[in-house]
Amino acid sequence: MTHSDSAESIKDLADKYIFPTYKRSIALIKGEGCRVWDDQGKEYLDFVGGIAVCALGHSSPIVTKALEEQSRQLVHVSNLYYTRPQAELARLLVENSFADRVFFCNSGAEANEAAIKLARRYAREKSGPGRHTIICMEGSFHGRTMATLSATGQKKVQVGYDPLLEGFKFVPFNDLQALKRSVDGSVCAVMLEPIQGEGGVVVPHQDYLKGVKELCIEKGMLLIADEIQTGMGRTGRLFAHEHFGVKPDIMTLAKALGNGLPIGAMLGTEELSVVFGPGSHASTFGGTPLVTAVSKAVLTSLLKDGWVDHCRAMGEYFKERLEGLKKTHPSVKDVRGLGLIVGVELDRAAAPIVQACLEKGFLINSAQEKVLRFVPPLIVGKEEIDRLIGALAEALKE
């Protein structure tokens, strides 16, 4: 690995010119599979994966091939025109989900923004004005735009942005009775993550989502599933809601859909599509030929190359190893998750463990103060998992 020719380091440049909205650590310059390298040439095993983004790993040849081929054909045109990669990705998503229609955008927050707008517009068309409230969950995370921030059930990310948007109310996650008590005539939808990621990798009990869906049907509300972190095979099924035997009315995707390229998608039923006609919603860069060609290649690989099954098997192995760690380390209070979204709750702050692992050559992160979160590439193997367990064991002793 070689140093930059610039006299200023990457860190110095970033700290001088970029808004300090992130607490950054090392400067990364290269990745391959489950490994990345910093600007000093040090190698790391990556169990963050761009926060559940790089499902097929870093510098995936599948991504590179699609990117190179499409970049020679057509990179961007307006959505005033049809393009084949976008249409074919939409078909692939529809054929492998509950949905009938897809709206493309650039990020998870934008996908959730589109879902909020669709739910409210549909309710207004169907029931008239006044039915606009969306019930969201405490501990949820739906994005950083004003609407998705207002829909997020974590006060810490809302500080300083008052007034938040009206029309959202919150109930405890995994508490069906609390949800039932909160429903009134103003509610048009329930929005939730099938598994809360930023909330600390919280998995609901098996009957919870079924109960939510039944309540939505009974009260004429839409169910919005935010699968931005849990979708695209992350849980060992293509979409997390499949584990619970329910079908949402609206689903949002992003992150691993592009394996690193910026894309979001909102999926919904045919019934809902009638209120999203020309001019009702739009995105200049949503679903460009370049990103949709890559996303189609990523989704095709997930479906045909066995990565979802591999994820399920590696997730089970990972949790077994972590349960073994729990038996020998009293500071580990809980191990939870599905597939390769795994959380370890500690009896202490997680940040020092994250830092200790970084120093040992492993990238992990925390979700909530005392929860370690692991969302590695779905291609991760037993050898990498075993190496991480060894490093974790050492870090927990220190």
Active site (annotated) includes residue 226: yes
CA atoms of 107 and 279, how far apart (whole Å): 20
Q: Over the stretch 312-356, which tens digit does the pLDDT of each residue have?
A: 999 999 999 999 999 999 999 999 999 999 999 999 999 999 999
Q: pLDDT above 90 covers what percent of the chain?
A: 97
CA atoms of 222 and 120, how far apart (whole Å): 10
Q: Is 60 exposed, middle or buried (0-12, 13-18, 19+ CB in 10 A)?
A: buried
Q: pLDDT above 70 covers what percent of the chain?
A: 98
Q: Which residue has the higher pLDDT, 1 or 89?
A: 89
- Out of 255, 296, 319, 370, which one is annotated catalytic? 255
What pLDDT does 267 receive? 98
CA dihedral 351, 312, 204, 170 (to 10 degrees): 60
- Out of 46, 98, 226, 296, which one is annotated catalytic? 226
Assigned token pair, 360? 């040992």
What pLDDT does 103 receive? 98
Q: Over the stretch 275-299, which tens digit does the pLDDT of each residue have?
A: 999 999 999 999 999 999 999 999 9
Eight-class DSSP state of 259: B
Q: How confident is the model at residue 1 (pLDDT cuts 50, 70, 90)?
A: very low
- Out of 103, 141, 173, 244, which one is annotated catalytic? 141
CA atoms of 222 and 189, how far apart (whole Å): 4
What DSSP letter does each residue of 331-385 carry, written as one string? TEEEEEEETTEEEEEESS-SHHHHHHHHHTTEE-EESSTTEEEE---TT--HHHH
**Is 2's pLDDT higher than 50?**
no
- Alpha-carbon radius of gyration of the chain: 21
Assigned token pair, 288? 């460009």
Give the number of other CB atoms < 10 A from CB of residue 124: 15
Question: What's the predicted TM-score (pTM) here?
Answer: 0.96
What DSSP letter does each residue of 78-126 carry, written as one string? -TTS--HHHHHHHHHHHHTSS-SEEEEESSHHHHHHHHHHHHHHHHHHH
What is the bridge-based pairing of β-strands 250-253 and 222-226?
Answer: parallel
Q: Give the three-state DSSP class for 264.
A: strand
Contacts of residue 170, defined as CB under 8 A and 6 or more positions apart, other chains included, come to: 135, 136, 137, 138, 140, 153
Helices (H), the chain: 10-17, 49-52, 61-71, 84-95, 108-127, 146-150, 176-182, 208-219, 270-273, 289-304, 307-328, 351-359, 382-397
What pLDDT does 104 receive? 98
CA atoms of 155 and 159, how far apart (whole Å): 6
CA atoms of 112 and 120, how far apart (whole Å): 12
How does the average pLDDT of the chain come out, rounded? 96
Q: How confident is the model at residue 49 (pLDDT cuts 50, 70, 90)?
A: very high
Q: Give all strands of the β-sheet with 168-171 in edge-to-edge order.
A: 101-105, 264-268, 250-253, 222-226, 187-192, 133-137, 168-171
Q: Over the stretch 167-200, which tens digit does the pLDDT of each residue have?
A: 999 999 999 999 999 999 999 999 999 999 999 9
Nearest to 190 by CA among 202, 204, 203, 180: 180
What pLDDT does 7 receive? 65
Assigned token pair, 74? 């057509």
Q: Over the stretch 351-372, which tens digit does the pLDDT of each residue have?
A: 999 999 999 999 999 999 999 9
Instruction: List, in sequence order, every residue forming a beta bridge with 103; answer none if it has no partner.
Output: 266
What pLDDT does 6 receive? 56
At 187, which amino acid appears? V
Q: Is 265 exposed, middle or buried (0-12, 13-18, 19+ CB in 10 A)?
A: buried
What pLDDT does 8 receive? 85
Residue pointed to by tokens 């499949």? 242
What pLDDT does 398 receive? 85
